[in-house]
Structure 1
Amino acid sequence: MNLNLKHTFTKELPADSILENSRRQVKDACFSYTNPKQTKAPEVIHVSKEMASVLGVSENDLSNELFTKIVTGNEVLPNTKPYAMCYGGHQFGHWAGQLGDGRAINLFEVEHNNKQWAVQLKGSGETPYSRTADGLAVLRSSIREYLCSEAMFHLGVPTTRALSLALTGDEVLRDMLYDGNPAHEKGAIVSRVSPSFLRFGSYEIFAARQDHKTLKTLVDFTIKHHFSHLGAPSKEAYIQFFAEVSERTLQMIIHWQRVGFVHGVMNTDNMSILGLTIDYGPYGWLEGFDFGWTPNTTDNQHKRYRYGNQPNIGLWNLYQLANALYPLIEETEPIETILELYKTDFEAKSLQMMKSKLGLEASDDKDKTLIEALEDALLLTETDMTIFFRNLSNLKKRDGKKGLEIVKDAFYVPNEVSDKIAQHWKDWFERYDFRLEKEALSDTERQLKMNAVNPKYVLRNYMSQLAIDDANKGDYKLIDELFQLLKQPYEEQPNHEKWFAKRPDWARHKVGCSMLSCSS
């Protein structure tokens, strides 16, 4: 492979002085050199050709044995030194201290078409940050991450990307349900790609240790390589840096809310400094519209990371980042101004996002109450979010009486939509119909705009689970079918209509289809 390799992270940031791969607290360093674990029988089972092209990897390279060895950690490219990153984090609201790349190893950086990317393996073995874990990953979670990161990209949601999905040939012991019944599963590795894998926790760890020298080095590095438009490092640049991270974080979460995505583990070590969706663990898409839903069994009691709370958690996490950056800014007023702006921006951008989902462009003071009334209606009976908004675009002006008929396929229990609930819906459609009269767009124009923000196809958990079940039997066709389907989530794709459907009853409580653990 003829790649334009770069080494900015390892050349410009302090390295761990200890080269031994032992679990420990790593001080005064942003990373530790460590090599991936050799695997028994590596086999690449799917590749994103699009992502390969972005990196400058040719189609001929993809069929080369060297490619398989590199993306499974069995060979290291000449003149590269793999490394694991040091960071801390708040987990479920509590400071957890050093966390770091416990099962991720960065292979190298690549520059292609004036863009730079870091290539990383997830599930490639132990690092100094693995604590009591084995650093490995299983096929189940790897399929979910591989499919979802690429699906999110095509949905228009800021995200890290995926290059490849591979089997290791090794067996990995996991207690999937945390019930004391561990079992062996197929080991796997995902090759992940991002301009940077820096997280909020990358800065928190140095602030917590009062290592302000390394903190400043890392922030200056981040501005130089990822926010260069802010100019040379200075107090003002640090403030603007925080403002832009806040803005990007909010933008990402607004996109999550738009498509009904729930991350599941919004710990500060899972928050990208670039505002990218990162670390696909127990995520999920809303089936029934529900502000209180979380896909994470670990969060089932307190529901900290529930769908409706994601914007608030984004703000909470930004407060932690603000605390970490404070030693460089030493002034609270500009930081507080940025955090207050997040709140007001959320209100405005959330309203605008919901208006776009409803096909509303004209200004109307009553839009907020119209949207609130819709959300109330969606909660009256289990209503599929994706199907509801997609089918709503079929409604024509002055046709509000047909509204309930147009969205009926979104109801999980149609018999519940009678009398009082049906009347509630009829009242809302009457208001919506009246509101559409203020729009200049034709029905066709409005439908096109609505269908550009309301996806027809999302990666529902049961779809992933079907692909996982097949893959465990050695059949990878469904992985590719879903991969191709989700590259065009806003298109009709008549041949794939079967995936535009509510979650089947068998999947309601099936492991992997409703809620998931953090286990991988």
Structure 2
Amino acid sequence: MINLNIKDTFNKELPADPILENSRRQVEKACFSYVHPKRTSKPELLHVSPEMIENLGLSKEDSQSDIFLKIFTGNTLLPNTKPYAMCYGGHQFGNWAGQLGDGRAINLAEVTHKNKRWALQLKGAGATPYSRTADGFAVLRSSIREYLCSEAMYYLGVPTTRALSLALSGDQVLRDVLYNGNPEYEKGAIVCRVAPSFLRFGNYEILAARQDFSTLKILVDYTVKHFFPHLGEPSKETYLAFFSEVSQRTLDMIIHWQRVGFVHGVMNTDNMSILGLTIDYGPYGWLEGFDYGWTPNTTDRQHKRYRYGNQPNIGLWNLYKLANALYPLIEETDGLEAILDEYKTGFEVKFLEMMRSKLGLLIKDDSDVALIKDLENNLLLTETDMTIFFRKLSDFNNEKASEGIKVVKDAFYISEEITEDIQQKWNTWFEKYAERLSREEVTSEERKEKMNLVNPKYVLRNYMAQLAIDDADKGNYKLIDDLFQLLKNPYNEQPEHEKWFAKRPDWARHKVGCSMLSCSS
């Protein structure tokens, strides 16, 4: 038997749904419902994260055992555990959606190892009381994307949930990928994802919306006790400090998203972690061409609410909704509004700091705001790959400003679009950038080293994930591991993997899964 140090708290300290029947329903005055994963017909383990195995206190041999496969595909329960699905609500695309909950996620247990707490959650292991009209399963396509991306984000330095394992269920799952009335059967899969907690803004919102303030207080006190213990005992001041820290963690997470060009795609309040972690990897994507208006989500195609340039604003909007949910425990608006104002001013400060780091600027200078704005305007003149541009920029020699555009030329998708006018605008910018760099007190080599620590060379572009998915559909899972290994060192040169340091290929520009994605999984 696998020896995990199980220390469950969520399903022991919080109110449970008294109904044990696994039927779709409204669950009130409870934070979760007990539910068992559905047994699968022929489970097969495709990949395991060695780092997460170690974080849980397990060994490589443990991960290769039959019992590991059974537990992390939902076919066997860990001893003395009671799996459950969490109850939460949420604002979806700006509108209150009421109860949502873990419709295809089942929490197995909480584990502690080396003074760290990890919640183990199976995604795609069957229906729960919160599944509504869905089946609770997940397909291999979306499971590969979540498994690879959550680990890739971790190594990029972005706050995120993690992934332990990826497995086939052996069952077929019916999905309508494009929501166009043409469903097809796909391979079913299960991801075991891991985080200190999967609590979301929506866990608190649903209780406030139902005016169940007693349960709301129990949940907030539980959250502070286990995840913000440094804030002290429950009080109005503690709740304000709690909201302030959640606000700052959310801001830090989104600044990281903007830094690496990541677009979440579905920033509904039920997809916002109370710990400031990137959670729920659905129709996400990395910017190919730099574009503030880009969203990877087909559902968001018309209004582009969750576009790249709007993510900081949506973070603030979601925090307003969390503030409304916490208000019954605080009963005054001044403190909450002050924290929300801090988010606004904090974004301006942290965004500027982040952009300075991407440009290799260590000394603060009043001219930096204009320099950055001019850069953003230039990046929009023609389709320019964000990842390649900033990585190549570290090779710029400020004593050869006139050659700047040559340094970054590989980032331009269509070189013929670089007209004389566009070239002149770039030349002007590089001259200003060179003059600004001349006032820095570091060598070109030192600047390059620092820039390459914040500007990744490799990110999980959608076409890369799609190639792994296409291979996996044919029974070839090697590319999953190849990409997993590549993305563990996103800031390193890795010359043996240079083929992945390239612009999105033309075949992927409009291919399903490479440009736009749906929430279908």
TM-score (normalizing by structure 2): 1.00
Alignment match, 2:280? 279
Alignment match, 1:189? 190
Alignment match, 1:15? 16
Q: Which digits, 9 at most, give the CA deviation of each residue in 1:108-127, with x for residues without a partner?
A: 00000000110000000000
Q: Separation in 2 of the partners of 1:461 and 1:478?
A: 14
**Are 1:78 and 2:97 matched, yes or no?**
no
**Are 1:26 and 2:24 matched, yes or no?**
no
Secondary structure (helix, strand or coil) at the match of 2:428 reads helix
| Superposition pairs of residues 108-119 of structure 1, within 5 angstroms | 108-119=109-120
Q: Which amino acid aligns with 2:469?
A: I
Q: Separation in 1 of the partners of 2:497 and 2:473?
A: 23
Question: Per-residue deviation at 1:60?
Answer: 1.1
Question: Per-residue deviation at 1:400?
Answer: 1.1
Alignment match, 1:463? 464
Alignment match, 1:356? 357
Secondary structure (helix, strand or coil) at the match of 2:377 reads helix
Alignment match, 1:126? 127
**Are 1:40 and 2:35 matched, yes or no?**
no
**Are 1:255 and 2:251 matched, yes or no?**
no
Q: Which digits, 9 at most, give the CA deviation of each residue in 1:376-415, with x for residues without a partner?
A: 0000000000000000000122121110000000000001
Q: Which amino acid aligns with 1:214?
A: T
Alignment match, 1:87? 88
Alignment match, 1:176? 177
Q: Which digits, 9 at most, give the CA deviation of each residue in 1:260-287, with x for residues without a partner?
A: 0000000000000000000000000000
Q: Separation in 2 of the partners of 1:174 and 1:359?
A: 46
Question: Per-residue deviation at 1:333?
Answer: 0.3
Q: Which amino acid aligns with 1:67?
A: F
Question: Per-residue deviation at 1:58?
Answer: 1.1
Q: Which amino acid aligns with 1:403?
A: G
Q: What is the RMSD of the two structures over their aligned residues, measured on CA atoms?
A: 0.4
TM-score (normalizing by structure 1): 1.00
Secondary structure (helix, strand or coil) at the match of 1:6 reads coil
Alignment match, 2:243? 242
**Are 1:408 and 2:409 matched, yes or no?**
yes
Q: Which amino acid aligns with 1:287?
A: E
| Superposition pairs of residues 102-251 of structure 1, within 5 angstroms | 102-251=103-252
Q: Separation in 2 of the partners of 1:78 and 1:254?
A: 41
Alignment match, 2:455? 454
Q: Which digits, 9 at most, give the CA deviation of each residue in 1:262-316, with x for residues without a partner?
A: 0000000000000000000000000000000000000000000000000000000
Secondary structure (helix, strand or coil) at the match of 1:40 reads coil
Secondary structure (helix, strand or coil) at the match of 1:382 reads coil
Over 2 Å off, 4+ runs: none
Q: Which amino acid aligns with 2:170?
A: G
Alignment match, 1:324? 325
Question: Per-residue deviation at 1:226?
Answer: 0.2
Q: Separation in 1 of the partners of 2:124 and 2:400?
A: 53
Secondary structure (helix, strand or coil) at the match of 1:38 reads coil
Question: Per-residue deviation at 1:144?
Answer: 0.1
| Superposition pairs of residues 335-374 of structure 1, within 5 angstroms | 335-374=336-375
Secondary structure (helix, strand or coil) at the match of 2:408 reads helix
Secondary structure (helix, strand or coil) at the match of 1:5 reads coil
Q: Which digits, 9 at most, give the CA deviation of each residue in 1:397-455, with x for residues without a partner?
A: 21211100000000000011121001010000000001001100100000000000000
Q: Separation in 1 of the partners of 2:342 and 2:63?
A: 46
Q: Which amino acid aligns with 2:223?
A: T
Q: Which amino acid aligns with 2:491?
A: Y
Q: Separation in 2 of the partners of 1:307 and 1:402?
A: 30
Q: Separation in 2 of the partners of 1:244 and 1:77?
A: 34
Secondary structure (helix, strand or coil) at the match of 1:223 reads helix
Q: Separation in 2 of the partners of 1:363 and 1:504?
A: 38
Q: Separation in 2 of the partners of 1:363 and 1:389?
A: 20
Conservation of the 8 A alpha-carbon contact between 2:398 and 2:433: no
Question: Per-residue deviation at 1:320?
Answer: 0.1
Alignment match, 1:500? 501
Question: Per-residue deviation at 1:28?
Answer: 0.5
Alignment match, 2:299? 298
Conservation of the 8 A alpha-carbon contact between 2:283 and 2:517: yes
Secondary structure (helix, strand or coil) at the match of 1:169 reads strand
Secondary structure (helix, strand or coil) at the match of 1:120 reads strand
Q: Separation in 2 of the partners of 1:378 and 1:284?
A: 19
Number of matched pairs:
520
Q: Which amino acid aligns with 1:432?
A: Y
Which residues of structure 1 form unaligned runs of 5+?
none
Q: Separation in 2 of the partners of 1:505 and 1:303?
A: 24
Conservation of the 8 A alpha-carbon contact between 2:103 and 2:128: yes
Q: Separation in 2 of the partners of 1:516 and 1:276?
A: 22
Alignment match, 1:419? 420
Secondary structure (helix, strand or coil) at the match of 1:20 reads coil
Q: Separation in 1 of the partners of 2:371 and 2:499?
A: 32
Q: Separation in 2 of the partners of 1:78 and 1:439?
A: 60
Q: Which amino acid aligns with 1:54?
A: N
Q: Separation in 1 of the partners of 2:60 and 2:495?
A: 29
Q: Which digits, 9 at most, give the CA deviation of each residue in 1:202-241, with x for residues without a partner?
A: 0000000000000000000000000000011111000000
Q: Which amino acid aligns with 2:177?
A: M
Which residues of structure 2 form unaligned runs of 5+?
none
Secondary structure (helix, strand or coil) at the match of 1:459 reads coil
Q: Which amino acid aligns with 2:378?
A: A
Q: Separation in 2 of the partners of 1:91 and 1:412?
A: 35
Q: Which digits, 9 at most, give the CA deviation of each residue in 1:361-382, with x for residues without a partner?
A: 1121110000000000000000
Using the aligned pairs only, state the percent identity.
74
**Are 1:58 and 2:59 matched, yes or no?**
yes
**Are 1:267 and 2:249 matched, yes or no?**
no
Alignment match, 1:519? 520
Q: Separation in 2 of the partners of 1:363 and 1:505?
A: 40
**Are 1:442 and 2:443 matched, yes or no?**
yes
Q: Separation in 2 of the partners of 1:514 and 1:218?
A: 39
Alignment match, 2:481? 480
Secondary structure (helix, strand or coil) at the match of 1:272 reads coil
